[in-house]
Amino acid sequence: MKFLIAFGFFVLQPSLWIGVIRVYMIHTNRLKKERAIFNSAIYDDFYEGRHFVRMGLIFGVLASIILGGFLSISLEWLIIYEGLMAVGLLLIPWWLLPITIAGAASIITLMLPHFSQLHPIVSWFKQIGINQTSVAPINILIVFVVITLATAVYVNVNGGRFDSPTLVRNQRNNKTAVYKFNELSIFPFLLFIPGNWIHTSFPFMPLFQINNHSYALLLVPILIGMKFTVKRSIPRELFKALSKSLYVIVAVGVGFSVIGYFVPKIILPAIVILLLGYYLVLAMAKHNDSKQSFEYSEVMDGVRVIGIQPETPAAKMDLKVGDVIFEVNGIKITNEDEFYRALSTNSTYCRFKVRDRNDQLKITESAIFKNSPHEIGVKTYTEFSN
């Protein structure tokens, strides 16, 4: 019964519903862009929402089972974190938000007792009846590491799986495609909050007595996700490498946690170092992407594949975004009009000669929908004129 009450409190959190609305807006904006470019969406399904729910449930269950039974966090951290998350989701371009919010909330909370500049925050807490609670600082570091780990896993599992292009002009004014990963999830993290303020303010909330101390049991909404634009790399490979770098940050965080258990003074510097490490990893990923010699731009000797619609003949062929199709059914092509005319020479079957991003040649073939060569599922620059 107490867990059901905690779950009900989680469902009523404004930040959760702001996140749900944000995910829906990401989905609708993507569909709008795809339809504006190609006259039809590449991915009609609401995969952003599917990832939001699935990953939120998985992380929520695992984090709560592994750590929720003994990990407590201060009410000050909770209020600062939830406030930053709500404001960030509403107002701020959020490609840095999940880790930044967790880091900022942790740093501010740890600094409260020591810096006079934060006195207005302390005074406000006292005005609403919140007195500083005694929570081991190591718990704040552990929560930050957990959020970083969840973000790394989320990027590893979902990053680059859906190659939805946005079309722009490069410095030479040529049409080129870039690929945006723009997803988030919110998972429920079962945590104990010391003190009786929550129970006094919300009498229906469960209260526990542990070693003569009062704790409220809450499912805290935790934001994870990332917004990252890939310009030259293979999206899936870039996000795999990025997630591995984030795992290194997590491993360093685990090491800091072990040391911090015995030397609490290093906890605040450790969070700052981990946060800066996160920014460095993202900056390096962007730098490495920009240094790639390849570009998803138009070509003069064929048609560039910049999108592949699922459940179409193209999805069954050995095609990748970035490939250049230069021969169709034995006919050499140089543009989209020639591409579709060559497809029309056989209403039930097609055979492509393709050059991949490494200039390696390959041949791929498939049956197509009868009398529907335009339903092949290959997305090119045909509809883009801006």
| Domain ranges (residues) in the chain | 2-291, 303-379
Query: How do residues 265-292 score in pLDDT, each as one tens digit?
Result: 999 999 999 999 999 999 999 999 999 9
Tokens 């702001």, located at residue: 18
Residue among 60, 41, 45, 51 at smallest CA distance from 20: 51
Retrieve residue 308's tokens.
């592949």
Burial class for 156, CB neighbours closer than 10 Å (0-12, 13-18, 19+): middle
Report the CATH architecture of 303-379.
Roll (2.30)
The 3-state DSSP class for residue 349 equals strand
**According to the model, what pLDDT value does residue 385 have?**
45
**According to the model, what pLDDT value does residue 265 have?**
93
Sign of CA dihedral 274, 275, 276, 278: positive
Question: Could you tell me which residues are beta bridge partners of residue 361?
Answer: 355
Residue among 224, 45, 244, 241 at smallest CA distance from 160: 241
Q: What is the Cα–Cα distance from 269 to 272, expressed in whole angstroms?
A: 5
**According to the model, what pLDDT value does residue 127 have?**
60
DSSP strands (E only) in 212-360: 213-230, 303-304, 307-308, 324-328, 331-332, 349-355
Retrieve residue 224's tokens.
């994870």
Q: What is the Cα–Cα distance from 240 to 133, expressed in whole angstroms?
A: 40
Tokens 């609708």, located at residue: 28
DSSP strands (E only) in 231-345: 303-304, 307-308, 324-328, 331-332
**According to the model, what pLDDT value does residue 286 have?**
95
CA 237 from chain centre, in angstroms, equals 15
CA 70 from chain centre, in angstroms, equals 28
- The per-residue DSSP string of 18-84 comes to HHHHHHHHHHHHHHHHHHHHHSS-S--S-HHHHHHHHHHHHHHHHHHHHTTTT-B--HHHHHHHHHH
Sign of CA dihedral 50, 52, 53, 55: positive
Pairing outcome for strands 324-328 and 331-332 = antiparallel
Retrieve residue 89's tokens.
């989701």
Question: Could you tell me which residues are beta bridge partners of residue 327?
Answer: 332, 353
Residue among 148, 264, 101 at smallest CA distance from 256: 264
Q: What is the Cα–Cα distance from 369 to 102, expressed in whole angstroms?
A: 50
**According to the model, what pLDDT value does residue 29 have?**
93
**According to the model, what pLDDT value does residue 7 have?**
65
What is the chain's pLDDT, residue by residue, as a tens digit (386 residues)?
555 666 666 777 888 888 899 999 999 999 999 988 888 889 999 999 999 999 999 999 898 888 866 788 888 888 889 888 888 888 765 555 789 999 999 998 888 766 655 556 656 566 655 665 667 889 999 999 999 999 999 999 999 999 999 988 877 778 899 999 999 999 999 888 776 656 566 666 666 666 666 677 788 899 999 999 999 999 999 999 999 999 999 999 999 999 999 999 999 999 999 999 999 999 999 999 999 999 999 888 899 999 999 888 888 888 999 999 999 999 999 988 899 899 888 878 899 999 999 999 999 988 876 555 557 888 888 655 44
Going by the DSSP 8-state scheme, the letter that residue 131 receives in this structure is: P
Residue pair 342/329 in contact (Cβ under 8 Å)? The answer is yes
**According to the model, what pLDDT value does residue 175 have?**
83
